[in-house]
């Protein structure tokens, strides 16, 4: 759906109106990203004849543009190789503590089968090594696998769950691992007998009574009808590219000052299709909006203050948690304060240096902060930091040191003046097997959803960890495909 489409464009078609089937399959998968590929593979492995309908002219999608992290734990081979003591229970505690409205059943299943899922991915050819990138980075620039990719060591989460690094990046130097993931999943789907139709824009679901039995799609100017003997699986992405839907459901992300991350087909069509047959939605206001100010990791020694000169977050938080706190500040105004020992220019260039001053008082005056406020904030922080502590915001001890070596720098982190980027997290309500749930809390017969058009684990940026989306998309995509194909 583009910005001018409405729900009427996805009106349900009664099967009695179809006088000719262009094709038939046991399972139809709408969209071929991380979720769709895994759903297709598992459905085919279960013995189903699988047809993928993909809008693009080839393999593309948001996963191809991702770094390629999976949030996995509980004792994966890379964790064990690096002496990391982790358990499914600790991972469960972490995700429960980090999620605003956690679905305990889904999270427990994801954690208990996390190691198995890692092995399944490697069986499909997805490559991981045993490297461990130990620095603080939003994505490791090497081909090393393990990384601290969330709030595992961040207060108060660290008090509720035993910390462990669980971000697993595919063996690819830099930030193009998602394409490598899709390369291997595509090859596996093809070798499993999955059929593909590209340039296929699904427009309608077909109903026989209350059961979904197929789809109508356009192939350039031709309308085609495909029968699904078992099920239709929606895996068509989120809605970050649909301004109309964002205005309605996710106004903060809709702000033009946020760069929308995704591909042109992240237009909510999968969600709209599910809603056309009564599918309920969840967490549609949820989004990850972020503006990483590190690396260099030295900037984590700095402190963030609002327009009252007050701190409001432990600065060692995962970048999306920090960004969420920034977006909650008065007038969206935030500054990162560093001294000569801790200063560095953000490598991504998403924030700019405002200026530098010889005294905190001069900086306070030029930033137009309340007289004495920043001076008190700095004095209180430095006093505690001398002892390696941060009683106000509980920053992890590794990132606590006094800021007392002038000149002092202020880096602009305000919304609208720094570069912010985001994507949607809400979608269709589904059970643990990916079946779409309707407004009456009943299963919609014959319809499944997975990936960014379904709501499973990730709900907001503050509780997000890198790798959650691809991790849950592949895991629950597998479950949807297996259940639909059996």
- pLDDT tens-digit readout, 327-361: 999 999 999 999 999 999 999 899 999 999 999 99
In a domain, 429, yes or no: yes
Rounded CA separation 127/39 (Å): 19
In a domain, 109, yes or no: no
In a domain, 105, yes or no: no
- pLDDT tens-digit readout, 18-41: 999 999 999 999 999 999 999 999
pLDDT of amino acid 8: 53
Does position 7 have pLDDT exceeding 80, yes or no? no
Distance of alpha carbon 173 from its chain centroid, rounded? 21
Pairing assessment for the beta strands 200-208 and 211-219 based on DSSP bridges = antiparallel
Domain identity same for 77 and 43: no
326 three-class SS: helix
Averaged pLDDT, 468-481: 98
Rounded CA separation 214/468 (Å): 31
Residue of 277, 269, 279 whose CA lies nearest to 15: 277
Rounded CA separation 481/175 (Å): 28
Domain identity same for 16 and 148: no
Domain identity same for 406 and 302: yes
For the chain, give the percent of residues with pLDDT over 90.
93
In a domain, 100, yes or no: no
CB-CB contact of 43 with 27 (8 Å): yes
pLDDT of amino acid 176: 86
- pLDDT tens-digit readout, 253-265: 999 999 999 889 9
In a domain, 38, yes or no: yes
CB-CB contact of 112 with 74 (8 Å): yes
Domain identity same for 276 and 352: no
Domain identity same for 59 and 208: yes
Distances (CA, A) of 73 to 189, 389, 436: 26, 30, 27
Domain identity same for 60 and 186: yes
Q: Which residue has the higher pLDDT, 175 or 381?
A: 381
Beta pairing partners, 421: 259, 290
Rounded CA separation 206/210 (Å): 10
34 φ/ψ angles, rounded to the nearest 5 degrees: -60, -45
CB-CB contact of 38 with 477 (8 Å): yes
Domain identity same for 78 and 60: no
Domain identity same for 305 and 233: no
Averaged pLDDT, 365-378: 98
Pick from 373, 393, 418: which residue ends a domain?
418
Domain identity same for 304 and 411: yes
Rounded CA separation 395/390 (Å): 6
Query: Mean pLDDT score of the chain, rounded to an integer?
Result: 95
Q: At 220, which CATH number? A: 3.50.50.60
Averaged pLDDT, 126-155: 95
Rounded CA separation 56/197 (Å): 10
Rounded CA separation 324/320 (Å): 6
Rounded CA separation 251/269 (Å): 19
- pLDDT tens-digit readout, 54-94: 999 888 778 888 989 999 999 999 999 999 999 999 999 99
Q: Where are the alpha helices (DSSP H) in 28-87?
A: 34-45, 77-81
Range of the domain at 227: 7-65+178-289+422-485
Tokens of 420: 């912010």
Domain identity same for 305 and 410: yes
Q: What is the pTM of this model?
A: 0.95
For the chain, give the percent of residues with pLDDT over 70.
98
Of how many residues is the chain composed?
486
Rounded CA separation 323/320 (Å): 5
Rounded CA separation 291/430 (Å): 31
Tokens of 332: 């969206």
Pick from 371, 403, 418: which residue ends a domain?
418
Domain identity same for 403 and 313: yes
In a domain, 257, yes or no: yes
Strand order in the sheet with 408-412: 303-306, 334-338, 408-412, 353-357
Residue of 299, 283, 249, 256 whose CA lies nearest to 421: 256
Q: What is the domain count for the chain?
A: 3
Does position 2 have pLDDT exceeding 60, yes or no? no
In a domain, 34, yes or no: yes
In a domain, 412, yes or no: yes
Distance of alpha carbon 161 from its chain centroid, rounded? 21
Pick from 418, 452, 477: which residue ends a domain?
418
Q: At 339, which CATH number? A: 3.90.700.10
Domain identity same for 303 and 385: yes
């Amino acid at each position: 759906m583009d910005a001018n489409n409405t729900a009427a464009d996805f009106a349900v078609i009664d099967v009695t109106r179809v006088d000719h089937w262009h094709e038939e399959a046991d399972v139809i998968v709408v969209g071929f990203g991380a979720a769709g590929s895994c759903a297709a593979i598992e459905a085919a492995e279960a013995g189903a004849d699988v047809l993928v309908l993909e809008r693009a002219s080839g393999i593309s999608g948001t996963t191809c543009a991702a770094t390629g992290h999976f949030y996995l734990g509980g004792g994966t081979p890379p964790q064990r190789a690096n002496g990391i003591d982790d358990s499914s229970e600790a991972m469960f505690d972490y995700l429960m503590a980090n999620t605003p409205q956690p679905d305990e059943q889904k999270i427990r299943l994801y954690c208990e089968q996390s190691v198995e899922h890692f092995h399944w991915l490697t069986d499909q050819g997805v490559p991981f090594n045993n490297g461990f990138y130990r620095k603080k980075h939003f994505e490791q620039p090497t081909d090393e696998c393990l990384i601290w990719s969330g709030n595992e060591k961040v207060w108060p989460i660290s008090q509720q769950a035993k910390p462990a690094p669980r971000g697993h990046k595919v063996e690819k130097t830099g930030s193009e691992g998602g394409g490598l993931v899709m390369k291997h999943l595509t090859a596996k789907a093809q070798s499993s007998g999955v059929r593909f139709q590209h340039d296929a824009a699904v427009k309608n679901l077909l109903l026989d009574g209350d059961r979904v039995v197929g789809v109508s799609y356009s192939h350039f100017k031709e309308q085609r009808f495909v029968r699904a003997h078992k099920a239709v699986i929606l895996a068509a992405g989120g809605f970050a590219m649909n301004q109309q839907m964002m205005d309605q459901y996710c106004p903060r992300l809709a702000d033009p000052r946020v760069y929308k991350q995704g591909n042109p087909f992240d237009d909510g069509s999968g969600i709209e299709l599910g809603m056309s047959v009564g599918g309920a939605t969840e967490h549609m206001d949820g989004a990850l909006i972020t503006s990483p100010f590190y690396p260099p990791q030295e900037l984590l020694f700095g402190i963030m203050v609002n327009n009252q000169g007050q701190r409001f977050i432990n600065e060692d938080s995962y970048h999306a948690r920090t960004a969420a706190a920034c977006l909650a500040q008065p007038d969206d105004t935030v500054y990162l304060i560093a001294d000569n020992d801790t200063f560095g220019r953000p490598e991504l260039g998403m924030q700019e240096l405002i200026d530098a001053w010889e005294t905190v008082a001069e900086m306070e005056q030029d930033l137009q902060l309340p007289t004495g406020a920043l001076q008190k904030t700095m004095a209180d922080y430095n006093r505690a930091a001398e002892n390696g502590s941060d009683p106000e915001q509980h920053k992890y001890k590794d990132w606590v040191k006094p800021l007392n070596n002038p000149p002092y720098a202020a880096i602009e982190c305000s919304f609208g003046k720094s570069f912010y980027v985001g994507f949607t997290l809400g979608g269709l309500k589904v059970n643990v097997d990916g079946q779409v749930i309707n407004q009456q809390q009943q299963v919609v017969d014959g319809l499944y959803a997975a990936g960014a058009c379904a709501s499973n684990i990730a709900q907001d940026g503050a509780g997000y960890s890198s790798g959650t989306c691809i991790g849950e998309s592949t895991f629950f995509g597998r479950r949807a495909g297996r259940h639909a194909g059996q």
